[in-house]
Amino acid sequence: MLRLDKYLADVGIGTRSEVKKLLKQGLISVNGQIAKDSSFKVNPDTDKVTFKGQELTYQEFRYYILNKPAGCVSATKDGLSPTVIEFLKGEPTRDLFPVGRLDKDTEGLLLITNDGMLAHNLLSPKKHVNKTYIAFVDKNLGATEMELFKSGVDIGDETPTLPAEIIEASEKQITDNLKNASINKENFIYSKAYLVTIREGRYHQIKRMFEHFNSNVVYLKRLSMGKLLLDSQLLPSHYRPLTSEEILSLKS
């Protein structure tokens, strides 16, 4: 059972105080009776709540995938730059947060939710959730360097990174990922693109791993996190709710 004002705020009708006004105006009904009391208790599984006659569906947790463009920060608030949350126009964003961080200039898959437990499980260093990126760099790694990259790299932290995977990206992966990339195509120079999978989320991790081999990442995009994949139909700056299959796959 939960308070009616919390229920209404959770479904995105408005903030707690806006919801109070809507209740006063008699726009909310519970099981066919107009409800005006914010502290009225409802059972989201069995009670039928309507707003202006439209039945509401309660969802405690919400999950979205955003194709993060460059130029915004993975935070809920920022005085200067737009945040990733601002891209979820028209959604009840009050309690949403990004699961982990991508650098301001990194693009690609970002999970946004209000499910703290799932976020904790995906980010916990003990869980070693795979994150795959395509990294365009200005200097190739040689065969020995790739082997060293795979075994874990000293990036100046207390311990080297965990072993990672790295393979050269195919021509198709390169063209597909550069198609909508927010790079200045005329001046964009790179030497090679790699698919890199890491199991941690250290600060600037991939950039620092390449820097260890005197190679600079010139464009970075995340393609997957655990079993969640960035689909090619989702253009930069666009988002969609996760499907139930995707939610289950992240929890399994």
For residue 106, state whether it binds ligand URA (rule: CB under 6 A): yes
Nearer to ligand URA, 42 or 198 (CB): 198
Q: CB of residue 159 vs ligand URA: minimum separation in angstroms?
A: 17
Please report where in the chains the tokens 């995977």 appear, as a residue.
165
For residue 62, state whether it binds ligand URA (rule: CB under 6 A): no
Give the phi and the psi of residue 157 in degrees, each rounded to 5: -85, 180
Q: Using CB under 6 A, which residues numbered 189 to 218 contact ligand URA?
A: 204-207
Residues in CB range of 164: below 8 A, 6 or more apart = 149, 150, 152, 153, 196, 197, 198, 199, 209
The 3-state DSSP class for residue 2 equals: strand
Other CB atoms within 10 Å distance of the CB of residue 119: 17
For residue 68, state whether it binds ligand URA (rule: CB under 6 A): no
Dihedral sign, Cα of residue 156, residue 160, residue 161, residue 165: positive
Q: CB of residue 233 vs ligand URA: minimum separation in angstroms?
A: 23
Among 220, 228, 247, 250, binds ligand URA (CB under 6 A): 220
For residue 24, state whether it binds ligand URA (rule: CB under 6 A): no
Q: CB of residue 235 vs ligand URA: minimum separation in angstroms?
A: 19
For residue 129, state whether it binds ligand URA (rule: CB under 6 A): no
For residue 221, state whether it binds ligand URA (rule: CB under 6 A): no
Dist. CA 131–CA 162, nearest whole Å: 13
Instruction: Provide the annotated active-site residues.
Output: 103
Dist. CA 112–CA 100, nearest whole Å: 9
Nearer to ligand URA, 3 or 104 (CB): 104
Dist. CA 226–CA 166, nearest whole Å: 16
For residue 182, state whether it binds ligand URA (rule: CB under 6 A): no
Q: CB of residue 11 vs ligand URA: minimum separation in angstroms?
A: 33
Nearer to ligand URA, 63 or 133 (CB): 133
Nearer to ligand URA, 52 or 128 (CB): 128
The H or E element that residue 113 is part of is strand 107-113
Tell me, rounded to whole angstroms, the distance of Cα 161 from its chain centroid.
Answer: 23
Other CB atoms within 10 Å distance of the CB of residue 46: 8
For residue 181, state whether it binds ligand URA (rule: CB under 6 A): no
Q: Using CB under 6 A, which residues numbered 76 to 105 contact ligand URA?
A: 102-103
Asked if 137 and 194 touch (Cβ cutoff 8 Å), the reply is: yes
Positions touching ligand URA (CB under 6 A) are: 102-103, 106, 204-207, 220
